[in-house]
Chain A
């Protein structure tokens, strides 16, 4: 066959491929397809900022318009990664500033972002549109001021759950008067007040505003003017939802809410006062997503609200909802897909609310579309887990946190192995699982045997021996991320499954029993992994080789050992790797 499609045609066809997987597959067909594909790829996702260098990315993909980069491991969310560990975005921004002048979109997760980086972004990309900083840190409101002042075409500014140093609320005033392109603003993580008049003016002059998530400091009496100024809002996050009860505030609020005919998602509600919840009733029938996870209102008030939301797909709520509230949820919200129940008093020794495994069982029975669960509770039984598994074989994400580490089945005092075993056996599409409670190696046997689609597994205070880890590493074919804390897993399973680690994005182990010697050995065996030991007791050489390391983070990479390590992180066998590369 002498003919082939002209490049332009292939490029046109490839443009329809949005999934990275598909694009990656296409690029493996032949050299010319690789070349065509790489020149027209517009979006890249880097799941681990240390798996590849900016230079390598830029060399391969010269025409990128949107990047998404993730930095620290997930357990950083729970303070397990010491400060100064890394994940600095600056080298990426600086490299992209030179090579991607037309970059429009930057999405970052768990990265350290400085004001310098933000300023560089604001000045380097003339058509910059979207900035999403999810669980990031390292910047102040000054950095936000640069973005506001310089990004003339900004559409989306989403600060996620980032930690921002609040120097002043005046950053918002840096949006020029002729700036009108804003579509989405999420500043819910900011601590202090922004200038309300600047905010109001901004909202009023941006006709395409669809998402507005305010911070806690915006008082409830200011909400009506904002809602009236943005009647096309689809997503709205209130500030503190409390005030002295005044009828005019309430009626203004009702009127303002009723003007928002497209409102689908609500959040905020810090310090919510029950008396103000009914102001939202007029929009409840359209609501698909409700985040009440900051609202410390009691079950009856929650129930009253939830029972008005028949189209609810996603609910985040505190355990104040109790089993009774979840029962109401299960009978009114048949479209529910995602439920997250957070603990109101995670450190209390005794339960402060009447929320048990029953609530989750009821929801699993009543909500046929339920696929994603995050549930904090204080007691669980194998029977309940088995029931949940049988009710909901369509579960994709199941994260259960029984607050007391190693809590057994409260009815039988057995480990919860069979319960979680049922989950992985019945839920064949399960992609994410977090375990808790008393668990032996047996649960890992079940997981290794059944959880073939599992991509992410989180383990704490579980297992008896290396056999547990071995079951997971040898059995879970789709595993990408494994994070383990405080488990008696040591060297054997890790070394026996070394090759597996190259098929995964990363492995985190803290307070386990992996020895320094094994870490070195692993690094020798697997030169394409970075085996990083994190130890705040000083260099591991100061201790015997058999001494377990405090924390271990292993990830595959094509760019060798990283050069920005702090003094409590060591890459194993670094010299050898550098010699080879």
Chain B
């Protein structure tokens, strides 16, 4: 057994170039030799154009406290709860540019959900039983709203947290037609 690949709590210890939001890179005690970090820097330089704006971060450097990073760098993490999921996740709304983008990210994050085309609209669907999930959010006034009605930027500004509701519960939110994946509806995943 190679000691280097020992994991602790399921966290990898190899140095990886993870995208922002890849918690493993941030949290694990990265085994990094001195030279590995230097290489990391050089790789960063050459890939500067192709990487997304916030590239890989070496834990602990630069020595900026997290509340300073969040407050200045237009970063908006909101909690996302999915009905039936054991724990909540957090998603940075600022790094997405549209509702489609957000939907994709949520599909990636909640592995039990996939994106399907329901009536020519992209929706989040439970891959096990085909049940549709309706994205809702709590706005600044404390009201629960359907995601998608207002312009994207306005949504980002007013969203405090999100909940992916099972469509069977989303009564009264007109746009979320509770569709059961039957032979009748055009559902393609």
Q: Contact residues of A with B, CB < 8 Å?
A: 75, 77-80, 82, 161, 163, 189, 216, 270, 293-294, 296, 318, 342-350, 376, 401, 403-406, 434, 458, 460-461, 485-488, 510-511, 513, 534-538, 542-544, 547, 550-551, 568
Q: 5 additional contacts, CB 8 Å, given A405-B41, A536-B9, A568-B29?
A: A189-B67, A349-B44, A376-B62, A460-B60, A547-B3
Taking the complex as formed, is B59 at the interface, i.e. its CB lies under 8 A from any CB of chain A? yes
28 interchain pairs, CB-CB under 8 A: A78-B61, A78-B63, A79-B26, A80-B60, A82-B27, A343-B62, A345-B72, A346-B69, A347-B55, A347-B57, A349-B48, A376-B62, A401-B63, A405-B41, A406-B38, A434-B63, A460-B63, A461-B34, A485-B60, A510-B60, A511-B33, A511-B34, A535-B29, A537-B6, A537-B31, A542-B3, A544-B3, A568-B8
| A residues in contact with B67, CB < 8 Å | 161, 163, 189
Contact of B8 (CB < 8 Å), options: A75, A79, A458, A538: A538
| B residues in contact with A345, CB < 8 Å | 72-73
Taking the complex as formed, is B68 at the interface, i.e. its CB lies under 8 A from any CB of chain A? yes
Most buried by A among B11, B62, B63, B73: B63
Closest to A547 in B: B3
Q: Are B66 and A79 in contact (CB under 8 A)?
A: yes
Closest to B38 in A: A406
| B residues in contact with A344, CB < 8 Å | 72-73
Complex interface bits, B49-93 against A, C-beta within 8 A gives 1, otherwise 0: 000011101111111111111011100000000000000000000
Taking the complex as formed, is B32 at the interface, i.e. its CB lies under 8 A from any CB of chain A? yes
Query: Ordered nearest first, which 8 A-B pairs have the shortest CB separation?
Result: A536-B29, A349-B48, A536-B8, A78-B60, A80-B60, A543-B3, A537-B6, A550-B29
Q: How far is the CA of A568 from the CA of B11 in the complex (A)?
A: 13
Evaluate whether A401 and B60 lie within 8 angstroms (CB atoms) in the complex, with A161-B67, A536-B13, A537-B6 already known.
Answer: no
Count of chain B residues near A, Cβ 8 A:
40
Closest to B20 in A: A347
Closest to A399 in B: B63
Q: Are B8 and A537 in contact (CB under 8 A)?
A: yes
| B residues in contact with A487, CB < 8 Å | 34
Q: Closest CB of chain A to B144's CB: distance in Å?
A: 16
Closest to B51 in A: A349
Evaluate whether A294 and B71 lie within 8 angstroms (CB atoms) in the complex, with A78-B64, A536-B13, A537-B13 already known.
Answer: yes
Contact of A404 (CB < 8 Å), options: B41, B54, B59: B41
Contact of A293 (CB < 8 Å), options: B29, B31, B32, B68: B68
Complex interface bits, B105-140 against A, C-beta within 8 A gives 1, otherwise 0: 000000000000000000000000000000000000
Q: How far is the CA of A512 from the CA of B87 in the complex (A)?
A: 36
Q: How far is the CA of A77 from the CA of B57 in the complex (A)?
A: 15
Q: Closest CB of chain B to A24's CB: distance in Å?
A: 32
Taking the complex as formed, is B149 at the interface, i.e. its CB lies under 8 A from any CB of chain A? no
Q: How far is the CA of A316 from the CA of B13 in the complex (A)?
A: 37
Q: How far is the CA of A557 from the CA of B65 in the complex (A)?
A: 28
Q: Are A485 and B8 in contact (CB under 8 A)?
A: no
Q: How far is the CA of A80 from the CA of B64 in the complex (A)?
A: 12
| B residues in contact with A79, CB < 8 Å | 26, 59-60, 66
Q: Are B29 and A347 in contact (CB under 8 A)?
A: no
Q: Are B65 and A77 in contact (CB under 8 A)?
A: yes
> What is the total of A-B residue contacts with beta carbons within 8 Å?
113
Q: Are B71 and A270 in contact (CB under 8 A)?
A: yes
Contact of B29 (CB < 8 Å), options: A161, A318, A404, A537: A537
Evaluate whether A537 and B72 lie within 8 angstroms (CB atoms) in the complex, with A77-B65, A401-B63, A551-B29 already known.
Answer: no
Taking the complex as formed, is B37 at the interface, i.e. its CB lies under 8 A from any CB of chain A? yes
Q: Are A346 and B62 in contact (CB under 8 A)?
A: yes
Q: Closest CB of chain B to A345's CB: distance in Å?
A: 7
Evaluate whether A511 and B32 lie within 8 angstroms (CB atoms) in the complex, with A79-B66, A350-B48, A461-B37 already known.
Answer: yes
Q: Contact residues of B with A, CB < 8 Å?
A: 3, 6, 8-9, 11, 13, 26-34, 37-38, 41, 44-45, 48, 53-55, 57-69, 71-73
| A residues in contact with B68, CB < 8 Å | 293, 342
Q: Closest CB of chain A to B31's CB: distance in Å?
A: 7
Interface residues of A, dominant DSSP: loop
Contact of A294 (CB < 8 Å), options: B55, B57, B72: B72
Q: Are B54 and A347 in contact (CB under 8 A)?
A: yes
| B residues in contact with A75, CB < 8 Å | 60
| B residues in contact with A461, CB < 8 Å | 34, 37, 61
Evaluate whether A488 and B34 lie within 8 angstroms (CB atoms) in the complex, with A80-B60, A347-B55 already known.
Answer: yes
| B residues in contact with A296, CB < 8 Å | 72
Q: Closest CB of chain B to A156's CB: distance in Å?
A: 21
| B residues in contact with A293, CB < 8 Å | 68
Closest to A510 in B: B60
Most buried by A among B11, B34, B55: B34
Q: How far is the CA of A537 from the CA of B33 in the complex (A)?
A: 15
| B residues in contact with A82, CB < 8 Å | 27, 29
Q: How far is the CA of A286 from the CA of B8 in the complex (A)?
A: 55
| B residues in contact with A404, CB < 8 Å | 41
Q: Are A346 and B11 in contact (CB under 8 A)?
A: no
| A residues in contact with B69, CB < 8 Å | 346
| B residues in contact with A513, CB < 8 Å | 34
Closest to B30 in A: A511
| A residues in contact with B61, CB < 8 Å | 78, 405, 460-461, 485-486
Q: Closest CB of chain B to A570's CB: distance in Å?
A: 13
Q: Closest CB of chain A to B92's CB: distance in Å?
A: 13
Q: Closest CB of chain A to B183's CB: distance in Å?
A: 47
Q: Closest CB of chain B to A415's CB: distance in Å?
A: 14
Q: Closest CB of chain B to A373's CB: distance in Å?
A: 15
Q: Closest CB of chain A to B133's CB: distance in Å?
A: 26
Q: How far is the CA of A142 from the CA of B85 in the complex (A)?
A: 26
Q: How far is the CA of A434 from the CA of B65 in the complex (A)?
A: 16
Q: How far is the CA of A37 from the CA of B59 in the complex (A)?
A: 46
| A residues in contact with B31, CB < 8 Å | 537, 550
Closest to B56 in A: A347
Q: Closest CB of chain A to B4's CB: distance in Å?
A: 8
Q: Closest CB of chain B to A398's CB: distance in Å?
A: 14
